[in-house]
C-alpha cells in the first residue's frame, strides 16, 4: 500500500517537515554535548604544522555561513523531485541524525579543542583581514560556537553525506553543490573553527554516514519494511 505514496510530493514534504524538526532538536544539543565532554575529560588539541601554515581566507566566511543551511533545507528540493522517494528522503535525514549521535559519543569521551588555532588576537594578524571589523565579526562567530568538538567536524560530515546522496540520486544538483559545499567545508579549518585533523575526521564520518548508515542500514531496512 505504501508503494503508491512513495513518490508523492506532499507525503515527502510532510516527512521532511517532521525530520527537519528532529534534526533541529539534535543539532541544538551540539554545544551542550561538547562542553559536557570537555568538563569531564581534558580536551585534546589536534593542531599540526598544517594548521600553522594554512593561511586565513576571510572571503570564505560567506560560503561557510551558507553551507550551514544546505542539509536542513535540501529536503525542500528532495520533496518535489519525482525521482527521490519518501524512503530515500527519510533515510537521508535519519543517516545525518545518526551521524550526529555517533559523533556526540566521540565528543563525550574524547573531547578535542580548536582553541589553539582560533584567531583571537588582532595584533600580529592584521594582514589576514580586510579591516578590524572583519576580525570582530569572526570573533562573534567564535562566540556563537564552541572551541570544543573539533574532531570530527560536524560541519563537514553532513556536507559529505549530502554530496554523496546528490552524486547518486541527483547529478545535476551535485555539480552545482560541489564547489559550494567544498568552499563551505574547507572554511571550517581556513577560518580556524576546526583543525585540519577535525576537517578530515568530519569527511571520514560523512563517508561512514552515507555508505554504512544510509546505504547498508537505514535505506535497506526502511525499503524492506515499507515496500515489501
pTM score of the predicted model: 0.92
pLDDT per position as a tens digit, 28-57: 999 999 999 989 999 999 999 988 888 777
Quote the DSSP letter at residue 148: B
pLDDT at residue 136, rounded to an integer: 74
Residue of 215, 195, 199, 211 lying closest to 67 (CA atoms)? 199
On average, the pLDDT of the chain sits at 88
pLDDT per position as a tens digit, 78-94: 999 999 999 999 999 99
pLDDT per position as a tens digit, 164-200: 999 999 999 999 999 999 999 998 888 888 899 999 9
Containing structural domain, residue 66: 2-227
pLDDT at residue 228, rounded to an integer: 64
pLDDT at residue 189, rounded to an integer: 86
Residue 152, preceding peptide bond in cis (omega within 30° of 0): yes
How many domains are there within the chain? 1
DSSP H or E stretch at residue 65:
helix 61-67
pLDDT per position as a tens digit, 105-160: 999 999 998 877 777 777 776 666 666 777 777 777 777 777 788 999 999 999 99
Alpha carbon distance 13, 189 (integer Å): 34
Q: Say whether pLDDT at 226 is over 70.
A: no
Question: Are 173 and 83 a contacting pair, CB within 8 Å?
Answer: no
Q: Say whether pLDDT at 7 is over 90.
A: no
Q: Say whether pLDDT at 62 is over 90.
A: no
Amino acid at each position: 500500500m505504501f508503494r503508491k505514496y512513495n513518490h508523492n510530493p506532499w507525503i515527502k514534504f510532510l516527512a521532511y517537515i517532521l525530520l527537519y524538526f528532529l534534526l533541529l532538536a539534535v543539532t541544538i544539543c551540539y554545544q551542550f554535548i561538547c562542553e559536557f565532554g570537555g568538563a569531564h575529560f581534558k580536551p585534546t588539541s589536534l593542531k599540526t604544522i598544517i594548521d600553522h601554515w594554512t593561511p586565513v581566507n576571510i572571503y570564505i566566511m560567506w560560503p561557510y555561513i551558507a553551507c550551514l543551511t544546505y542539509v536542513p533545507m535540501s529536503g525542500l528540493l528532495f520533496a518535489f523531485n519525482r525521482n527521490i522517494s519518501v524512503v530515500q528522503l527519510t533515510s537521508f535525514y535519519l543517516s545525518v541524525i545518526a551521524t550526529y549521535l555517533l559523533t556526540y559519543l566521540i565528543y563525550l569521551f574524547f573531547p578535542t579543542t580548536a582553541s589553539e588555532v582560533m584567531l583571537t588576537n588582532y595584533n600580529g594578524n592584521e594582514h589576514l583581514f580586510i579591516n578590524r571589523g572583519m576580525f570582530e565579526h569572526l570573533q562573534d562567530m567564535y562566540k556563537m560556537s564552541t572551541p570544543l568538538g573539533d574532531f570530527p567536524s560536524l560541519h563537514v560530515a553532513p556536507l559529505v553525506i549530502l554530496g554523496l546522496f546528490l552524486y547518486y540520486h541527483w547529478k545535476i544538483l551535485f555539480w552545482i553543490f560541489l564547489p559550494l559545499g567544498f568552499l563551505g567545508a574547507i572554511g571550517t579549518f581556513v577560518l580556524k573553527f576546526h583543525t585540519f585533523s577535525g576537517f578530515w575526521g568530519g569527511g571520514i564520518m560523512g563517508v561512514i554516514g552515507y555508505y554504512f548508515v544510509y546505504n547498508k542500514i537505514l535505506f535497506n531496512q526502511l525499503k524492506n519494511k515499507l515496500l515489501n
